[in-house]
Structure 1
Amino acid sequence: MKNVLRRGATALAVAALALGTLATTAEAAPTGGDPNLTDVYVWATDVNVRSEPTSASPRLGVLSTTWLDAVCQKQGQFVNDPAVGSNSWWTAVMLFGGSDVGWVSNLYIQGGEKIAGVPDC
């Protein structure tokens, strides 16, 4: 019985250590954003933010690895990046302290084709 308890305690200690290591390497979601909006993570660098969900619309800015408040998402221009994949969904995000909205292709937002928790527009 002692050996079973010892193995269980060792397994728990290893799991706790692994969980602690993962927690320190993953970037935490920000606090202080709009609690009514979903936080999304732009995982790529040099990502264009557009005025509409198409690459033909004016560029409002460029983002790199950052958290943003998502307003909603909808299908727009199909984006194909050979290094990453392809997707036609875009997310409207709050910019510049919450005063402006811009569009980012979901291809560069963590979460897949459609981002869970972000409503459709």
Structure 2
Amino acid sequence: MQKLMHRSVVALAAAAALTVGALATTGEAAPARADAGDPTLTDVYIWATDVNLRSQPTSESPRRAVRSQYWLDAICQTQGQTVTDPAVGTNNWWTAVQEFAGSDVAFVSNLYIRGGVKIAGVPDC
């Protein structure tokens, strides 16, 4: 009986991991970058369209830009306001980003960045 329960728990954990992984890969494959940004920063890809880049990690802060299917340099990531999108999921991590050619720093919800809840290679703020 214990062995059967253990197998069931392992199977459920594997199914949950696959579901979370599916959310992280939403959208089509990222196009190749036209140019590289700062080599000391991690490049991140906004996979969605019409994504707001904000002055702070909250949807109420002023919008700095709007980007669609776009590569940016990631500076760091922090927890902020929880964002829920019925088609994608929920996430409270935001990444501070800038244009490859340099720009003001803006925050984008990790919900719309390829890579999952927290983006690998991007340090915490």
Q: Which residue of 2 aligns with 1:41?
A: 45
* Percent identical residues: 70
- Computing the radius of gyration from Cα coordinates, the structure with the larger value is 1
Q: Which has the higher contact order (CA 8 A, sep 6+)?
A: 2
- Would you say the 8 A contact 2:43–2:74 is kept in 1? yes
Provide the TM-score with structure 2 as the length reference.
0.73
For residue 84 of structure 1, what is the amino acid of its counterpart? Answer: V
2:113 pairs with 1:109:
yes
Provide the TM-score with structure 1 as the length reference.
0.75
Q: Give the aligned length.
A: 97
Moved over 6 A (4+): none
For residues 16-35 of structure 1, the aligned pairs below 5 Å read 27-35=31-39
Unaligned runs of 5+ in 2: 1-28
Measured on the aligned residues, the alpha-carbon RMSD in Å equals: 1.5
Q: Which residue of 2 aligns with 1:93?
A: 97
Residue 97 of structure 1 and its aligned partner are, at CA, apart by: 2.9
- Structure 1 window deviating more from structure 2 (94-103 vs 68-77): it is 94-103
